[in-house]
């Protein structure tokens, strides 16, 4: 093995070590933030009993990153939990960004293009993608299949209709065969 191939091997190993460190740090940081938020929430709401029969999403204020940051800065439990989840979501995105920078530094244009496409898809799915067709509707309790209890197994159905509450409005999602 010559000197340049040893240098490349050490550089690749170092890049892998840093990439692993980025992932571990992100996951551990997210877990610590969520744990702290859970402790704060449970100490401030010790006897709260939730009704899990009806799906209730997060309040609107927890759907914007700036609002989550404000709530977390005020050391509110739900805000900290949401911040921890954002850190967890950001961790693999940080890995893709790091990979893109490494491939640019190595001038590996094929991998630069592939990684840029992956990063673009991730960003689009977070900020621009909208799944399913939303239709306004009326119905029973939130997040129930409209076939109800005891319906045919999912494999025999040709379509499903799901309803849930979104900011106080009932939303209906329909999937076809």
Residues 78 and 153 in one domain: no
* Domain end call among 47, 79, 96: 96
Residues 28 and 88 in one domain: yes
Residues 138 and 90 in one domain: no
* Domain end call among 74, 96, 118: 96
111-150 tens-digit pLDDT: 999 999 999 998 888 877 554 444 444 444 444 444 444 4
Question: Which tokens in the block code for residue 97?
Answer: 């960004």
147-156 tens-digit pLDDT: 444 444 444 4
- pLDDT (average), residues 21-41: 96
What gap in Å lies between CA 20 and CA 68, rounded to an integer? Answer: 27
For 163, the domain range is 134-175
**Position 21 confidence tier, pLDDT thresholds 50, 70, 90:** very high
Contacts for 173 with CB less than 8 Å, ≥ 6 apart: 132, 133, 134, 135, 161, 162, 163, 164
**49 belongs to a structural domain:** yes
**DSSP designation for 99:** H
Asked whether 160 and 154 are in contact (CB, 8 A), the reply is: yes
Contacts for 11 with CB less than 8 Å, ≥ 6 apart: none
Question: What is the model's pLDDT at position 138?
Answer: 43
By the 10 Å C-beta count (0-12 exposed, 13-18 middle, 19+ buried), 165 is classed as middle
């Amino acid at each position: 093995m010559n000197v340049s191939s040893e240098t490349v091997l050490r550089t690749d190993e170092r890049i892998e070590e840093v990439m692993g460190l980025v992932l571990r740090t992100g996951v551990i940081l997210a877990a610590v933030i969520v744990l702290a938020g859970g402790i704060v929430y449970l100490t401030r709401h010790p006897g709260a009993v939730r009704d899990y029969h009806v799906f209730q999403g997060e309040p609107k204020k927890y759907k914007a990153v700036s609002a989550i940051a404000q709530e977390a800065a005020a050391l509110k439990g739900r805000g900290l939990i949401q911040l921890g989840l954002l850190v967890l979501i950001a961790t693999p995105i940080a890995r893709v960004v790091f990979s893109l920078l490494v491939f640019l530094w190595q001038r590996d244009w094929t991998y630069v293009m592939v990684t840029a496409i992956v990063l673009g898809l991730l960003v689009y799915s977070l900020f621009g993608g909208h799944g399913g067709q939303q239709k306004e509707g009326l119905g029973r309790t939130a997040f129930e299949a409209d076939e109800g209890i005891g319906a045919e197994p999912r494999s025999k159905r040709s379509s499903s209709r799901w309803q849930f509450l979104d900011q106080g409005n009932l939303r209906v999602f329909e999937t076809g065969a």
